[in-house]
Amino acid sequence: MGITSDQVKLSSGPVESLYILAGTDDYSKSAMETKIENRLRKDSDSCDVVVLDATQTDARSVMYEASNPGLFAERTLMIVRRADSLLSEESFIDFLRDFTKKDGPNVLVIETQASTAKIRKLRPVKMDLPYENQLPGWITGQFRSNGKSITDDAANLLALLCGRNLLSLSSEIDKILTAYPDEKRYGFEHVSEIAGPHKKDVIFGYLDALLEGNQKKASLLLTELLHFKTEPVQIVGMIRWRVQQMITARYYMDRGIGEANIIKKMKLSPYLYRGFCSKLRKYPIRKLLAGYDLLHKTDLQIKNSTQDKAVLLQMFTLKFLTC
């Protein structure tokens, strides 16, 4: 039979005859297929992999291929990509129902974007891309699976650099783990040193322009961030993180604490934040709190209004620097 769990485990029990992978997360689909292939190769003397594109073949051909054993291998993993049109055919659904009842040499994986009522009884595995606000949690989970951990600000930065491209995120995580193999916990400095150099420079440049009160520079770099197709809600999250830092640092400054001790208290990188406090002098705590309130309103507008999101962000930048 099919399966229901989002986290499919193949470490024990037999490999299923049918897997329907439904959703927008192509990275997780590919990872799941690799797990199935590795398990088949482990449990049998030989395994072939056949990949079909449903937009270039028909249901009858897929059913024929899936029903017949391979000529040269004990097991065959057959992957059918972009199969949405096939899953709209009742005859194909009937075939899949029968296929799950047979204990043949073939394992069939069906990739589809949508999970419709027709395939519900076949128990598809939902594999949708995480939303932007779920990305840091996904990143934390990837580090945990490697026996490591990552700080919240580092996970947020990595999410901002890569967006919802899980292949890119996975690649950057591998780079970080390879660059610092002996670290147990990864921080902001590890991510900023390794990941997404060009986009990272734009992000830091925009944040510095806000800190410096440079309206023209901030506006230009925000435009470039949007050109990178950075999600507006991610940009808001990045600004919120920086303004929170500014508020905390200003609070300490007003109590006579020096920059070195502020950096230590806030667990910031001395290399990245040298001179941070001197730039903050133009921002009294009252102005920072007003800016944070403005950011909250902008966030709500971006999520709930039909106004152009890029315009809303540019308006925020202008108002923040002039409030």
**In the predicted structure, residue 12 carries a pLDDT above the cut 80:** no
Q: What is the CATH number of the domain that holds 221?
A: 1.20.272.10
Helix axes 232-253, 309-322, angle to 10 degrees: 20
Residue 11 lies in a domain: no
Residue 88 lies in a domain: yes
Q: Report how far residue 135's alpha carbon sits from residue 158's, in angstroms, rounded to the nearest whole number.
A: 9
Residue 2 lies in a domain: no
Residues 40 and 69 in one domain: yes
Residue 79 lies in a domain: yes
Domain-terminating residue out of 90, 107, 126: 126
Q: For the segment 241-292, what is each residue's pLDDT rounded down to a tens digit? A: 889 999 999 999 999 999 999 988 887 777 778 888 988 998 999 999 999 9
Please report the beta strands in 40-167, taking only residues with DSSP state E, as ranges in sequence order: 47-53, 75-81, 106-112, 125-126, 149-150
Q: Domain of 141? A: 133-322
- Listed residue (186, 187, 139) closest to 159, CA to CA: 139
Residues 76 and 204 in one domain: no
Percent of the chain with pLDDT over 90: 37
> How many other CB atoms are there within 10 angstroms of residue 204's CB atom?
16
- Residue 7 is predicted with a pLDDT of 44
Residue 96 lies in a domain: yes
Structure tokens that stand for 154 in this block: 């580092």
- One DSSP character per residue, 181-239 reads TT-SEE-HHHHHHHS-HHHHHHHHHHHHHHHHT-HHHHHHHHHHHHHTT--HHHHHHHH
Q: What is the CATH number of the domain that holds 39?
A: 3.40.50.300
- Residue 3 is predicted with a pLDDT of 36
Residue 91 lies in a domain: yes
Number of independent structural domains in the chain: 2
Residues 242 and 155 in one domain: yes
Residues 177 and 285 in one domain: yes
- Residue 13 is predicted with a pLDDT of 66
Q: Using an 8 Å Cβ cutoff, are 110 and 19 in contact?
A: yes
**Which of 27-36, 129-138, 198-207 has the highest mean predicted lDDT (pLDDT)?**
27-36
Residue 45 lies in a domain: yes
Q: Report how far residue 283's alpha carbon sits from residue 262's, in angstroms, rounded to the nearest whole number.
A: 16
**In the predicted structure, residue 295 carries a pLDDT above the cut 50:** yes
How sure is the predictor about 5, in pLDDT bands with cuts at 50, 70 and 90?
Answer: very low
DSSP reduced 3-state for 77: strand
Pairing of strands 125-126, 185-186: unpaired
Q: For the segment 32-65, what is each residue's pLDDT rounded down to a tens digit? A: 999 999 999 988 888 899 999 998 989 999 999 8
Domain-terminating residue out of 85, 102, 126: 126
How sure is the predictor about 197, in pLDDT bands with cuts at 50, 70 and 90?
Answer: low
Residues 106 and 200 in one domain: no
Q: For the segment 72-110, what is each residue's pLDDT rounded down to a tens digit? A: 788 999 999 999 989 988 999 999 999 988 888 899 999
Domain-terminating residue out of 126, 158, 185: 126
Residue 9 lies in a domain: no
Residues 178 and 242 in one domain: yes
Residues 117 and 138 in one domain: no
Residues 115 and 138 in one domain: no
Residues 46 and 118 in one domain: yes
Please report the beta strands in the chain, taking only residues with DSSP state E, as ranges in sequence order: 18-22, 47-53, 75-81, 106-112, 125-126, 149-150, 185-186
The mean pLDDT value of the chain amounts to 86
Residues 159 and 216 in one domain: yes
Q: For the segment 206-240, what is each residue's pLDDT rounded down to a tens digit? A: 988 988 889 999 999 898 888 877 788 878 888 88
- Residue 198 is predicted with a pLDDT of 65
Q: For the segment 162-175, what is each residue's pLDDT rounded down to a tens digit? A: 878 888 889 889 98
Residues 147 and 278 in one domain: yes
Residues 95 and 153 in one domain: no
- Listed residue (159, 110, 151) closest to 133, CA to CA: 159
